[in-house]
């Protein structure tokens, strides 16, 4: 099921049906995200005429391109390579005319890969804010609101720079709700949020903003491009792959195996360990009471949970969810589960996620592991690595957010 979810969102599958007709002028390709290089490769394979451009992807996520330049940069904490690529992307966008077409290839991870600071800010400052956002428990929508208002390229600014050229943005969504403004912080789409909204998020989570960043937000100089701006009038956005599509592909695998799938939601959010507790309760009700579903069945869900970091362990939201789920299930027979990030990276580890079985806790105790202590220390990667239950895919070249499956046998 996990493989099917990833396969459904491969650029080779979802890009070709959405390619535009050749423009009268030039076709320029730009983009950012963990899938952007694979997206660019697919565009090159299917485009009949001249093409050029630049996309930036995560280190290790490149794909072979001959006419579109691929730059690799850091994720989730940005680096100078991403900043330079973002600056060059803006330069490519400027100087176009109304006969030109910009094809913008956007996927999850683009926010960190386009870290061009607003005037008066530095990369070091943006890195510090990014680290604080990643560890405070903010949702992806909240994080991206702050990022947009500290950026020189996000929040519609790249789209505005392309004017008067037409812009077609193809999105592979990794965010709950699939809002284009939240995928890579919306570099080509209008942003209805404000500097005041960003400041509210900063206050809510007690984030210590550097003085220059706070002054930018308080003065309103960080405002993004708003709905109705004429510079975005020639822009079109198409979402070509989503978490819901991935879950439906997984559900079809279950049906073919004679297992009834139930999609609980493609946009579940909340603290990872809390979501684990809730889904453990639902799974136990199914297993013991046959409510609200009869086993055998599989409970599928997607979305993006959050982790408020209190410990010093090796963690990620998928493995934290899964360790909490295992504790909640307490070895209940006949329940297996998998949780993983469809991009192949959970947290900052080159590990997609993990699996649990009915004997996960028993095997852990036999090895001297303390599941509750490791959960409290945000150390779930260490837990599953010790059991050899980590899920390691390598770069998947796509990203449709988290995938969770709980299989409940009869």
Q: From first to last of the 410 residues of the chain, give the pLDDT tens digit.
A: 999 999 999 999 999 999 999 999 999 999 999 999 999 999 999 999 999 999 999 999 999 999 999 999 999 889 999 999 999 999 999 989 999 999 999 999 999 999 999 999 999 999 999 889 988 989 989 999 999 999 999 999 999 999 999 999 999 999 988 999 999 999 999 999 999 999 999 999 999 999 999 999 999 999 999 999 999 999 999 999 999 999 999 999 999 999 999 999 999 999 999 999 999 999 999 999 999 999 999 999 999 999 999 999 999 999 999 999 999 999 999 999 999 999 999 988 899 999 999 999 999 999 999 999 999 999 999 999 999 999 999 999 999 999 999 999 98
DSSP β-ladder status, 166-172 and 235-241: parallel
Rounded to 10 deg, the angle between the 140-148 and 123-135 helix axes is 160
Closest CA to 174 of 146, 145, 141, 199: 141
The pLDDT of residue 292 is 97
355 phi and psi, to 5 degrees? -130, 155
* Tokens describing residue 61: 């996520």
The pLDDT of residue 137 is 87
The pLDDT of residue 347 is 86
359 phi and psi, to 5 degrees? -100, 15
Who contacts 82 (Cβ-Cβ below 8 Å, separation ≥6)?
A: 56, 71, 73, 74, 112, 113, 114, 115
Per-residue exposure over 215-230, b if at least 16 CB sit within 10 Å of its own CB, e if not: ebbeeeebbbbeeebe
The pLDDT of residue 152 is 97
DSSP bridge partners of 107: 172
C-alpha–C-alpha distance, residues 358 and 42, integer Å? 42
The pLDDT of residue 300 is 98
The pLDDT of residue 134 is 86
The pLDDT of residue 348 is 84
Q: Contact, 109 vs 184, CB < 8 A?
A: yes
Closest CA to 399 of 181, 186, 245: 245
The pLDDT of residue 146 is 96
Per-residue exposure over 321-356, b if at least 16 CB sit within 10 Å of its own CB, e if not: bbbbbbbbbeeeeebbbbbbbbbbbbbebebbbbbb
Neighbours of 25 (CB within 10 A): 14
Q: What is the CA radius of gyration of the chain?
A: 22
Who contacts 4 (Cβ-Cβ below 8 Å, separation ≥6)?
A: 249, 250, 252, 253
The pLDDT of residue 337 is 98
DSSP bridge partners of 389: none
The pLDDT of residue 95 is 86
Side-chain half-sphere CA neighbours of 168 within 13 A: 17
* Tokens describing residue 135: 């560890």
C-alpha–C-alpha distance, residues 345 and 392, integer Å? 9
C-alpha–C-alpha distance, residues 186 and 37, integer Å? 18
């Amino acid at each position: 099921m996990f493989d099917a979810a990833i396969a459904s969102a491969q650029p080779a599958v979802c890009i070709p049906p959405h390619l535009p007709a050749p423009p009268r002028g030039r076709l320029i390709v730009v983009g950012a995200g963990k899938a952007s290089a694979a997206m660019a490769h697919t565009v090159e394979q299917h485009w009949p005429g001249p093409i050029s451009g630049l996309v930036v992807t995560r280190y290790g996520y490149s794909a072979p391109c001959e006419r579109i330049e691929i730059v690799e940069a850091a994720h989730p904490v940005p680096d100078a390579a991403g900043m330079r690529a973002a600056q060059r992307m803006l330069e490519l966008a400027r100087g176009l005319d109304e006969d030109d077409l910009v094809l913008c290839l956007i996927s999850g991870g683009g926010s960190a890969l386009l870290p061009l600071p607003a005037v008066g800010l530095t990369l070091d400052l943006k890195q510090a804010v990014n680290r604080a956002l990643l560890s405070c428990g903010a949702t992806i929508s909240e994080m991206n609101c702050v990022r947009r208002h500290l950026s020189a390229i996000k929040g519609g600014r790249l789209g505005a720079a392309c004017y008067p050229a037409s812009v077609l943005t193809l999105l592979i969504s990794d965010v709950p709700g699939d809002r284009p403004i939240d995928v890579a912080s919306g570099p080509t789409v209008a942003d209805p949020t404000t500097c005041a909204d960003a400041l509210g998020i900063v206050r809510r989570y007690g984030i210590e903003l550097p003085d220059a960043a706070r002054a930018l937000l308080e003065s309103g100089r960080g405002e993004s491009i708003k709905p109705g701006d004429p510079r975005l009038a020639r822009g079109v956005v198409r979402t070509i792959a989503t978490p819901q599509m991935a879950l439906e592909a997984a559900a079809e695998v279950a049906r073919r195996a004679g297992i009834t799938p139930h999609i609980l939601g493609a946009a579940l959010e909340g603290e990872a360990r809390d979501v684990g507790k809730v889904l453990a309760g639902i799974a136990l009700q199914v297993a013991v009471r046959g409510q609200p579903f009869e086993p055998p069945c599989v409970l599928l869900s997607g979305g993006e949970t959050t982790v408020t970091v209190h410990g010093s362990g090796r963690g990620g939201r998928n493995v934290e969810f899964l360790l909490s789920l295992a504790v909640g299930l307490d070895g209940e027979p006949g329940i297996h589960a998998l949780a993983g990030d469809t991009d192949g990276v959970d947290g900052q580890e080159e590990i997609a996620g993990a699996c649990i079985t009915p004997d996960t806790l028993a095997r852990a105790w036999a090895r001297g592991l303390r599941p509750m202590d490791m959960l409290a220390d945000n150390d779930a990667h260490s837990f599953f690595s010790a059991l050899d239950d980590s899920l390691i895919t390598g770069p998947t070249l796509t990203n449709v957010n988290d995938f969770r499956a709980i299989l409940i046998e009869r």
